[in-house]
Amino acid sequence: MDIYLVGGAVRDRLLGLEPGDRDHVVVGQTPEAMLAAGFRPVGRDFPVFLHPETNEEYALARTERKSGRGYRGFVVDSDPSVTLEEDLGRRDFTINAIAEGEDGALVDPFNGARDIEARVLRHVGAAFVEDPLRVLRAARFMARFAALGFTVAPETMALMREMSASGELDALVPERVWQELSKALASKQPSAFIRTLHDCGALVAVLPEVEALYGVPQRAEYHPEVDTGVHVELVCDMAARLAPGDTAIGFAALTHDLGKALTPEDELPRHVMHEQRGLAPLRVLCERLKVPTAHRELALMACREHLNVHRLLELRDASVHDLFARCDAFRKPDRVAALAIACEADKRGRAGLQDAPYPQRAELLRLHAAAMAVSTRDIASDGLTGLQIGEAMRKARIAAIARARASA
């Protein structure tokens, strides 16, 4: 068999990164030959097999021809006559269209190695426009590689603008949008995902609630960056710095200020009640993308409570307790730490304030621990009903918060 290592494993090695999954292309073979050699079939839309010993993926070389709307409308040809170069030619970006033979020699018909050296994300060919998912993939690769100095080639950005204007992105199913978004939020620079989609006109189709934040002014004394869209970019990157790979915190960072897009013009640049205004569009976004429950709950908490956490040192003891209660933090204590990080990302995700202290994070955890230390054993329960026990617990927890503050 003529077997080549392809895709991300080759790309990442050339970038000096730790390679991830190893994918292979097999040229000149049939599904029957793969089965006879002991490979296990796993592909549904085209022939993909797992190696009998390593479990790595081996796909037959194939071509794709557009046959309908969206990213699923393709006819696949995996005839043994398909060449390696033809297989590489159907791929999205030149940096992903490099193959490595078993002797270590590179097959690079589209100069992907040159683009890796130049740090350029460039489409392979005109067929790029046939798959709307590639717009999201471009943005996601930028989230991963912008920190290495990558930019999108001008001609590729031009094609992405054409694709966005064509309405093709409307065919993307929510699960694929969420998949690409969550990968971007787990990357080093999520802002590059948002900015790339914004610059090519795709953000309005994919995340209209976030697109609406661009151009919305904020008070410069609190937000030197002024533009709310830019602020959200900074918050996403700060969240990635504070909680690397945590997509729930990243999603909360992305969506915490959606209400600012709904501030009446005559109130700008102030955003009174934007926390409450943001809850409705956030719920719509979560419903549309089928966002996982844990991500949704943390995002709603961060949207509703971030100003309260910022003002934590000024809140009354009872207000601190009620914040915890609204977040169901006595039954689900782990979410307090995540909320604190999301709020810190908001406070430090501002131009020139990335190294500002945020004592509220440690204080929120300290006061929550004090309240959590109260148990029903600390309450005289003789003759108390269920509701009375609940009120007694509330008073005891507020007293514990007060003692913790007094001892600081």
Residues 244-256 have pLDDT tens digits of 999 999 999 999 9
**Is 325 within a domain?**
yes
Residues 12 and 111 both lie in one domain: yes
Task: Determine the pLDDT at residue 209.
Answer: 98
The pair of three-digit structure tokens given for residue 402, joined into one six-digit string: 């007060």
Residues 239 and 160 both lie in one domain: no
**Is 152 within a domain?**
yes
Residues 72 and 98 both lie in one domain: yes
Which of 203, 225, 240 is at the close of a domain? 203
Rounded average pLDDT over 222-233: 97
Query: Between 387 and 291, whose confidence is greater?
Result: 291
- Residue 107, number of CB atoms within 10 A of its CB: 16
Q: How far apart are CA 6 and CA 21, in angstroms?
A: 10
Average pLDDT, the chain: 93
Residues 190-215: tens digit of each pLDDT: 999 999 999 999 999 999 999 999 99
List 64's β-bridge partners, or say none.
Answer: 76
**Is 12 within a domain?**
yes
Residues 218 and 165 both lie in one domain: no
CATH number at residue 194: 1.10.110.30
Candidates 226, 276, 279, 274; CA nearest to 252 is 279
Maximum C-alpha span of the chain: 85
- SS3 annotation, 151-213: EECHHHHHHHHHHHHHCHHHHCCHHHHHHHHHHHHCCCCHHHHHHHHHHCCCHHHHCHHHHCC
Number of structural domains the chain divides into: 3
Residues 285 and 351 both lie in one domain: yes
In three-state secondary structure terms, 43 is coil
Half-sphere exposure of residue 232, counting CA atoms within 13 Å on the CB side? 29
Residues 24 and 87 both lie in one domain: yes
Residues 184 and 75 both lie in one domain: no
Task: Tell me the pLDDT band of 44, cut-offs 50, 70 and 90.
Answer: confident
Phi, psi (degrees; rounded to nearest 5) at 264 = -60, 145
Would the pLDDT of 52 be above 80?
yes
Rounded average pLDDT over 214-243: 97
Which of 203, 221, 237 is at the close of a domain? 203
Residues 223/263, Cβ–Cβ less than 8 Å: no
Q: 């590179």: which residue's tokens? A: 106
**Is 85 within a domain?**
yes
Rounded average pLDDT over 216-239: 97
**Is 383 within a domain?**
no
Cβ-based burial of 87 (10 A; exposed 0-12, middle 13-18, buried ≥19): buried
Task: Determine the pLDDT at residue 381.
Answer: 64
Query: For 148-157, b where at least 16 C-beta lie within 10 A, e where not — what string?
Result: eebbbbeebb
Residues 366/401, Cβ–Cβ less than 8 Å: no
Q: Which domain holds residue 121?
A: 1-127
Task: Determine the pLDDT at residue 375.
Answer: 84
Which of 141, 173, 203 is at the close of a domain? 203
Would the pLDDT of 309 be above 70?
yes
Residues 226 and 253 both lie in one domain: yes
Q: Are strands 40-41 and 48-50 parallel, antiparallel or unpaired?
A: antiparallel
Q: How far apart are CA 306 and CA 185, in angstroms?
A: 20
**Is 400 within a domain?**
no
Would the pLDDT of 146 be above 90?
yes
Residues 281 and 314 both lie in one domain: yes
Which residue type is seen at 64? E
**Is 42 within a domain?**
yes
Task: Determine the pLDDT at residue 382.
Answer: 63
Would the pLDDT of 383 be above 70?
no
**Is 398 within a domain?**
no
Would the pLDDT of 397 be above 80?
yes
CATH number at residue 217: 1.10.3210
Task: Among 67-76, 242-251, 358-367, name the one with the lowest average pLDDT.
Answer: 67-76
Would the pLDDT of 114 be above 80?
yes
Q: For residue 218, what is the enclosing H or E element? A: none
Rounded average pLDDT over 294-314: 98
Phi, psi (degrees; rounded to nearest 5) at 269 = -90, 10
pTM for the model: 0.91
Task: Tell me the pLDDT band of 171, cut-offs 50, 70 and 90.
Answer: confident
Residues 99 and 149 both lie in one domain: no
Residues 360 and 219 both lie in one domain: yes
Would the pLDDT of 75 be above 90?
no
Task: Among 177-186, 340-349, 375-384, name the one with the lowest average pLDDT.
Answer: 375-384
User: Percent of the chain, pLDDT > 90?
Assistant: 83
The pair of three-digit structure tokens given for residue 26, joined into one six-digit string: 């097999």
- The count of residues in the chain is 408
Residues 172 and 276 both lie in one domain: no
Rounded average pLDDT over 264-280: 97
Q: How far apart are CA 296 and CA 367, in angstroms?
A: 25
